[in-house]
């Protein structure tokens, strides 16, 4: 059974959701908010995404080989705690 509830979203969060819709990632703002919450829940539960699998395999490359591949700057992964753990495990 699906329960629905009305919430008020404004400001930066609403703009972000509208941007996702404008890029075609979701069909409407409600779907965007629900989809992003589902992604956040999966990250918190520790489920590994295909992106994380790719990151893990690329991190198998030794740091002294990175320059040969043209990697000159530290990667930026935002505030994703699951990705941060992958990188910390590498150190």
Length of the chain counted residue by residue: 91
CA atoms of 34 and 77, how far apart (whole Å): 22
Give yes or no for residue 66 having a pLDDT over 70: no
Q: Is residue 50 part of a domain?
A: yes
Q: Is residue 5 part of a domain?
A: no
- The whole-model pTM stands at 0.49
Q: Is residue 66 part of a domain?
A: yes
Q: Which domain holds residue 59?
A: 11-89
Q: Is residue 6 part of a domain?
A: no
Q: Is residue 20 part of a domain?
A: yes
Q: Specify whether the CB–CB gap between 19 and 31 falls below 8 A.
A: no
User: What digits encode the pLDDT tens for the residues 29-60?
Assistant: 999 999 888 888 877 777 766 677 677 777 77
Higher pLDDT, 81 or 40: 40
């Amino acid at each position: 059974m699906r329960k629905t509830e009305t919430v008020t979203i404004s400001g930066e969060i609403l703009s972000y959701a509208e941007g996702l819709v404008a890029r075609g990632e979701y069909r409407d703002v409600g779907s965007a908010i629900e989809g992003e919450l589902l992604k956040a829940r999966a990250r918190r539960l520790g489920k590994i995404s295909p992106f994380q699998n790719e990151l893990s395999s690329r991190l198998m490359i030794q740091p002294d080989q990175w320059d040969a591949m043209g990697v000159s700057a530290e990667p930026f992964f935002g505030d994703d705690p699951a990705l941060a753990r992958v990188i910390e495990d590498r150190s």
